[in-house]
Amino acid sequence: MDKSARIFVAGHRGMAGSALVRNLATRGYYNVITRSRSELDLTNQVAVEEFFRDGAIDVVLLAAAKVGGILANESYPGDFLYTNLIIEANVIHAAYRAGVQRLVFLGSSCIYPRECQQPIKEDYLLTGPLEKTNEPYAIAKIAGIKLCEAFNYQYGTQYLSVMPTNLYGPNDNYDLKTSHVLPALLRKAHEAKVSGADSMTVWGTGRARRELLHVDDMADAAVFLLESEISGGLYNVGCGADVTIEELARAAMRAVDFEGRIEFDASKPDGTPQKLLDVSKLAELGWRAKIGLVDGLASTYRDFLRRYESRVLERA
């Protein structure tokens, strides 16, 4: 891909989008285009069409989405379904109409059936019922994958979909009601430590299993796929190993240096029992994750501390 390509990163203020912008800069791309929500409302079809018509965009990285942890997904199913559907529909359709040939659509490993065989291959999509806590979000993301496939088939575009497992890293959301598990555990361990508490609460049984991927690895994989001139399809992105939520909580406590007990809150859901991706399709192309959980937790905790001290933990 030409270093002068005009690359639009949709959702550049979020954790995934900001990692994509960092990765593109590291690789020498110097025409990265971004728009804040006040400059371009991606739920507004007319505004999105105008932006693409006038923007001479070559490539799109679609990271804009309404995202959240298990409780946010359960509490706001309408928002998760509607907002994600409309953003994808507007951006993918406007990109096609403006002649954009290359697009990467970011999804999530929750698109796969709840009781999926592990590790999860891309082929298992739509082979069984979804996990209820995030069904609306998963259905929106499946629609985005299918939109890319359908446009490739009908119009000859080269739109591909990247399905990362549970992401974490700089710029995450630390609001305990809406965040994903890893930022929540870091914050809880930190607050327990500074308040002198002897325990912290972990939702569910602690036995659910999750595969955690540093967001810089995800961004590297997405740009790697673009540079590999892949013309379409679905690609899992993960590190190839999972941990129980209890193990993750203990790892977060070690990163924070909090030595108290864990109290499990069984009134909160476990969600999907396990989500471990089969990443062999991407590995065959030559890409592997590089950031291990211990290092990733340590650097993410430093990011958390910077934001905690400046009181900007919740995403606007």
Distances from the Cα of 139 to the Cα of 19, 78, 79, 93, 298, angstroms? 25, 12, 13, 18, 34
Closer to ligand GFB by Cβ: residue 259 or 265? 265
311 CB burial (10 A radius; 0-12, 13-18, 19+) = exposed
Q: Using an 8 Å Cβ cutoff, are 21 and 34 in contact? A: yes
Lookup result for tokens 């659910």: 208
User: Which one-letter DSSP state was computed for residue 160?
Assistant: E
From the candidates 29, 137, 159, 301, which is the catalytic residue?
137
Q: Is 268 annotated as a binding residue?
A: no
Q: Is 196 annotated as a binding residue?
A: no
Closer to ligand GFB by Cβ: residue 35 or 180? 180
Closer to ligand GFB by Cβ: residue 105 or 151? 105
Interface residue list for ligand GFB (CB under 6 A): 69-71, 73, 108, 110, 133-134, 137, 166, 179-181, 184, 202-204, 208, 210, 245, 268-272
Rounded to a whole number of angstroms, the minimum distance from the CB of residue 58 to ligand GFB is 29
How many other β-carbons are positioned within 10 Å of the β-carbon of residue 20?
Answer: 29
Rounded to a whole number of angstroms, the minimum distance from the CB of residue 289 to ligand GFB is 16
Rounded to a whole number of angstroms, the minimum distance from the CB of residue 250 to ligand GFB is 12
137 is catalytic: yes
Q: Is 287 annotated as a binding residue?
A: no
User: Which one-letter DSSP state was computed for residue 159?
Assistant: E
Rounded to a whole number of angstroms, the minimum distance from the CB of residue 87 to ligand GFB is 15
Lookup result for tokens 């606007």: 316
Q: Is 203 annotated as a binding residue?
A: yes
Closer to ligand GFB by Cβ: residue 99 or 273? 273
Distances from the Cα of 20 to the Cα of 11, 25, 45, 281, angstroms? 10, 9, 24, 21
Q: Is 37 annotated as a binding residue?
A: no
The single-letter code of the amino acid at 202 is V
Task: Identify the CA nearest to 233 among candidates 282, 275, 288.
Answer: 282
Active site residues: 137
Binding-site residue set for substrate: 188, 203, 210, 270
Binding-site residue set: 11-17, 106-109, 141, 164-167, 180, 188, 203, 210, 270
Binding-site residue set for NADP(+): 11-17, 106-109, 141, 164-167, 180
